[in-house]
């Protein structure tokens, strides 16, 4: 059964306005995901300000809560609707982010970051499900690619924004400005987004959570979930280790480190293209290829760590591989999850950000920069294999 006045997930979606809602979702995706990555440059600054370890308070607590939130918010939105989660979640995220700017201690900061991560998760998985339902069918792959680009670009932009703002205004302003931006996004969501029309279901919330267990034990999903754990683990670990390396080995100052971080942005342009390429070559093949390209980028980065220009170029290759992998995995998981799309993507987010939470810890291992990157490259190659064998269906999937 469908509901009049809503955007149809099928036929009528072609007549519904979609450019403005997509622009709002893409902008929100960039702003929300920036909150994860700003921990990379802020950790030493906050640690110095409070006299403790900033990485745990800023990064690990956020990532773990974010991962848990992914699992909870997906079934809730499947049951009650996308806007019913997106708008209250963004409003609450605004309040908590403003509170971070006034945190009096590292403990309070860690608690608020966990709350921020949990609320931020109400956006990411649900937004992907929204795009997959609200956009006209022929634009959905492009829309998912655009949102994925924002998610990935946040990994670079979030670091640059946080480092630049902390240098110019102080670290607390990083959260003040973010809270102001979230306020605007919450208003735009309320005025621009239309609830997608979906088939009505009498399935209760408890049953929807129970469905998650069924998704996890399915071979065609559990293997991509395991592979997804390595994506942000490798990304966060690389960039967490990169800053100290650039300063110690090449004597770069903070401004120069910013420029090196920005060098990864060109590789992000592959993400919007990945949606269309997945339709042509298959999401399985494209995701596996992305993992292998990212692994090759890490190997090249490890081998070129003594030469700055080669290090910058090879890190861009790594980012290009990740930019290909993420939207391909999203398309794959979304298609295989059926009616439990948000729940399936929620489990994907759980895997993704469990890996992200481990990234700073892995980067802190006393293994040496080259050994670290080669180890991560091995994990990415194994992930390519997991995706490739995740289904016995034809490679066009």
Rounded Cα distance between 374 and 366, Å, is: 14
Average pLDDT over residues 159-186: 95
Beta strand spans in 179-224 (E)? 196-197
Confidence class of residue 40 from pLDDT cuts 50, 70 and 90? confident
Average pLDDT over residues 256-267: 79
Q: In CATH, what number is assigned to the domain containing residue 285?
A: 1.20.1250.20
- Beta carbons within 8 Å of 321's beta carbon, 6+ residues apart: 267, 290, 291, 292, 293, 294, 295, 296, 297, 380
Average pLDDT over residues 262-286: 74
Average pLDDT over residues 40-52: 84
Domain assignment of residue 248, yes or no: yes
In the predicted structure, residue 159 carries a pLDDT above the cut 70: yes
For the stretch 95-152, pLDDT in tens is: 999 999 999 988 899 999 999 999 999 997 788 888 878 888 777 777 877 887 888 7
- Beta carbons within 8 Å of 373's beta carbon, 6+ residues apart: 238, 298, 299, 301, 302
For the stretch 235-251, pLDDT in tens is: 988 888 888 888 888 88
In the predicted structure, residue 84 carries a pLDDT above the cut 50: yes
Least confident of 99-108, 180-189, 332-341: 332-341
Least confident of 24-38, 55-69, 266-280, 362-376: 266-280
Domain assignment of residue 397, yes or no: no
The pLDDT of residue 276 is 65
DSSP string covering 82-146, please? Answer: SHHHHHHHHHHHHHHHHHHTT--SHHHHHHHHHHHHHHHHHHHHHHHHHHHHHS-GGGHHHHHHH
Beta strand pairing status for 7-8 and 196-197? parallel
Helix (H), strand (E) counts: the chain: 16, 2
The pLDDT of residue 141 is 74
Confidence class of residue 2 from pLDDT cuts 50, 70 and 90? very low
> Please, how many CA atoms are within 13 Å of residue 165, restricted to the half-sphere of its CB?
19
The pLDDT of residue 321 is 92
* pLDDT over 90, % of the chain: 33
Average pLDDT over residues 219-230: 94
Domain assignment of residue 108, yes or no: yes
Residue 156's CB is within 10 A of a number of other CB atoms, namely 21
Range of the domain at 117: 7-388
Tell me if residue 199 falls in helix, strand or coil: coil
Structure tokens, 209: 């959570």
**Phi and psi based region of residue 282 (left: phi greater than 0; alpha: psi -120 to 50; beta: remaining):** left
Task: Report how many domains make up the chain.
Answer: 1
Domain assignment of residue 294, yes or no: yes
pLDDT, greater one: 163 or 144: 163
For the stretch 289-318, pLDDT in tens is: 999 999 999 999 999 878 888 888 998 899
Average pLDDT over residues 361-376: 86
In the predicted structure, residue 176 carries a pLDDT above the cut 60: yes
Domain assignment of residue 396, yes or no: no
Domain assignment of residue 395, yes or no: no
What are the phi and psi torsion angles at 50 (to 5°)? -105, -5
Average pLDDT over residues 271-280: 66
CA 326 to chain centre: 8
In the predicted structure, residue 15 carries a pLDDT above the cut 60: no
Domain assignment of residue 393, yes or no: no
In the predicted structure, residue 181 carries a pLDDT above the cut 90: yes
What are the phi and psi torsion angles at 197 (to 5°)? -85, 125
For the stretch 86-109, pLDDT in tens is: 999 999 999 999 999 999 988 899
The pLDDT of residue 249 is 84
Average pLDDT over residues 379-387: 97
Average pLDDT over residues 165-189: 96
């Amino acid at each position: 059964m469908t509901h009049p006045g809503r955007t149809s997930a099928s036929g009528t979606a072609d007549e519904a306005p979609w450019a403005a809602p997509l622009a709002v979702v893409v902008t929100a995706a960039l702003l929300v995901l920036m909150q994860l990555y700003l921990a990379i440059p802020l950790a030493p600054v906050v640690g110095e300000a409070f006299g403790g370890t900033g990485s745990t308070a800023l990064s690990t607590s956020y990532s773990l809560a974010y991962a848990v939130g992914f699992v909870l918010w997906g079934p809730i939105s499947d049951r009650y609707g996308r806007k019913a989660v997106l708008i209250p979640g963004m409003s609450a995220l605004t309040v908590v982010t403003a509170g971070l700017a006034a945190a009096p201690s590292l403990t309070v900061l860690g608690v608020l970051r966990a709350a921020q991560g949990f609320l931020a998760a109400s956006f990411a998985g649900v937004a992907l499900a929204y795009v997959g339902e609200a956009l006209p069918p022929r634009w959905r792959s492009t829309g998912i690619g655009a949102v994925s680009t924002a998610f990935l670009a946040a990994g670079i932009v979030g670091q640059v924004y946080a480092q630049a703002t902390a240098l110019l205004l102080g670290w607390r302003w990083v959260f003040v400005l973010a809270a102001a931006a979230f306020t605007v996004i919450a208003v735009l969501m309320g005025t621009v987004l239309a609830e997608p029309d979906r088939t009505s279901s009498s399935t209760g919330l408890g049953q929807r959570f129970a469905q998650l267990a069924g998704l996890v034990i399915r071979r065609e999903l559990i293997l991509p979930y395991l592979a997804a754990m390595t994506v942000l683990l490798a990304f966060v670990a690389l960039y967490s280790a990169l800053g100290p390396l650039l300063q110690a080995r090449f004597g770069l100052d903070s401004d120069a480190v910013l420029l090196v971080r920005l060098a990864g942005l060109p590789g992000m342009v592959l993400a919007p293209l990945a949606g269309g390429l997945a339709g042509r070559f298959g999401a399985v093949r494209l995701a596996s290829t992305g993992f292998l390209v990212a692994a090759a980028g890490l190997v090249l980065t490890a081998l070129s760590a003594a030469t700055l220009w080669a290090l910058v170029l090879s890190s861009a290759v790594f980012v290009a591989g990740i930019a290909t992998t993420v939207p391909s995995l999203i398309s794959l998981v979304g298609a295989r999850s059926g009616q439990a799309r948000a729940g399936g993507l929620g489990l994907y987010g759980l895997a993704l950000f469990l890996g992200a939470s481990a990234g700073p810890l892995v980067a802190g291992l006393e293994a040496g920069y080259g050994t670290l990157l080669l180890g991560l490259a091995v994990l990415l190659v194994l992930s390519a294999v997991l995706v490739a064998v995740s289904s016995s269906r034809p490679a066009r999937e």
